[in-house]
Chain A
Amino acid sequence: MIPVLNITDLHKSFGELEVLKGIDLAMHKGDVVSLIGSSGSGKTTLLRCVNLLEEFGRGRIEIAGEPIGYREEGGRRRRLPERQIARQRAMTGMAFQQFNLFPHLSAVKNVMLGLTKTKKLPAEEARAIAESWLDRVGMLARKDHFPGQLSGGQQQRVAIARAIAMAPQLMLFDEVTSALDPELVSEVLAVVRDLGRDGMTMLLVTHEMRFARDVSSRVVFMHQGRIHEEGPPEQIFGAPGTERLKAFLSNSQS
């Protein structure tokens, strides 16, 4: 079976600073992989490379077998044209730490935008899809509210609906609860957990260790731009194999 996501030997530098030093990661349909690690370990950068929000210097990322972002041409590596990149970005959905809802559009219009612009669906069809996803995240009653009228947790649920309505092959979650007040965290995590149960393939960066343990099929611990240790959650949290992971886990008891 072709992996949904296949990353081989991914390198990424910001100037002199190499933040990803050779990442290999494969995910199959229905996998839920959590990336954990201290800040600066490269988790978020890895996620952003998969969504082509960052360019990367070396290595290969394939979504459902299709190499994304670049093509080889006579031994030279070239960035794909804008249109191709846009199409490939839509193969993955991304939820951001800061939600990034479009403030001038109502909740339902936020979800509809990608459906009408990228997928070129007629407005009624887009609206129906948008409303069914807003219903799934418990936001249908507030579909005509604007982001400024919603709490952080509600905004994040709309943002997740916006990403997932595009029917991506892979959902990326970048610390989706980090900007939320503590009492709003659980409503967002419930939505993510629910999607995982439904078989959505998901790659999450999270600081919620209990949640990572709960929801993941696999946990990847990153340290200084490399995958330091990975395994099923019981093993990573129950019997960490390296000193670094032990130190990290004892520092982030939640």
Chain B
Amino acid sequence: MNFEFFLADLWAARANLLAGLWQTVLISAGSVALGTLLGLLVGLGLSYGRLPLRIALRIYTDFLRGTPVFVLILACYYIFSAAGLDLDAFQAGCLALTLFCSSHVGEILRGALNAIPAGQTEAAKSIGLTFGQTFTSVLLPQALRQMLPTWVNTATEIVKASTLLSVIGVVEFLLAVQQVISRTYLSLEFYLFAGLVYFVLNFAIEQAGRAVERRIAIPR
């Protein structure tokens, strides 16, 4: 391992690597944000929807959660263009990650709502709250606290899964690193570096999650 060569090449490639890292952050943050919004709707439907909707959403979540993310990405990339809907690689990849995220968030929310004792809803009803008020003031605040750790975990999974977008040609961080490697042949050094960067990214997400968790913890 030649550390000085590595540092020199790293410095030389800094612009490309930063651009790749930015893509990774953009893809992950966007997919998690959109996937979470969609997932909350999915979770609501799974919990309170009429039977046909529940069945449809159950198939949706089970299908998406049972499929490798890699397959989802390829499917989004090829199927939509075959159907005449022109998604570029970036859009197709983000769509795949968003759908994947939504299926997990939906299932997490359903589980969290399910874990709240029925007495909570009854108490809310007994003081005259409507279903909507009960949901926003009583159920959701408890469910969100309950689901936060698992949700953070899902976010880190999405960051890791974003590397798969390199296969369909999105120059996110991993592909940016691989391009540097193909020029410098310092594969070991740069892959180690990439691993370290992903670790730091996910570690930061987890720490942020813990901080939020402490902040909103219910005193007891």
Contact = CB atoms under 8 A, between A and B. Distances in A.
Nearest to A97: B119
Given A102-B138, A104-B145, A113-B137, A90 B119 contact: no
Interface stretch (A16-24, A81-89, A180-188): A81-89
Interface in B151-172: none
A253 to B, nearest CB: 31
B69 to A, nearest CB: 34
Contact of B123 (A92, A101, A145): A101
B51 interface: no
Most buried by A among B127, B137, B138: B127
B142 A86 contact: no
A104 B218 contact: yes
Contacts of A93: 126-127
B219 A166 contact: no
B81 interface: no
A94 B126 contact: yes
A204 interface: no
A145 B122 CA distance: 22
Contacts of B124: 102, 113
Nearest to A88: B128
A118 interface: yes
Q: Which DSSP category, helix, strand, loop or mixed, fits chain B's interface?
A: helix
B120 to A, nearest CB: 6
Contacts of B210: none
Contacts of A52: 125
Interface residues of A, number: 32
Nearest to A53: B122
B218 A162 contact: no
A240 interface: no
A89 B125 contact: yes
Contacts of B128: 86-87, 89-90, 114, 117-119, 166
Most buried by B among A51, A83, A104, A162: A104
Nearest to A159: B123
Interface in A130-150: 145-146, 148-149
Contacts of B5: none
A166 B126 CA distance: 10
A228 B219 CA distance: 47
Contacts of A102: 120, 123-124, 138, 142
Nearest to A116: B137
Please name the 7 residue pairs, one residue from A and one from B, whose CB atoms are nearest each other, closest first: A90-B128, A148-B220, A114-B127, A118-B128, A100-B123, A100-B119, A94-B126
Given A89-B126, A96-B123, A102-B138, 5 more contacts: A53-B126, A102-B142, A114-B128, A146-B220, A162-B123
Interface of B: 117, 119-120, 122-131, 133, 137-138, 141-142, 145, 218-220
14 contacts: A53-B125, A86-B129, A86-B130, A89-B125, A93-B126, A98-B119, A102-B142, A103-B142, A113-B127, A113-B138, A117-B129, A118-B127, A145-B219, A148-B218
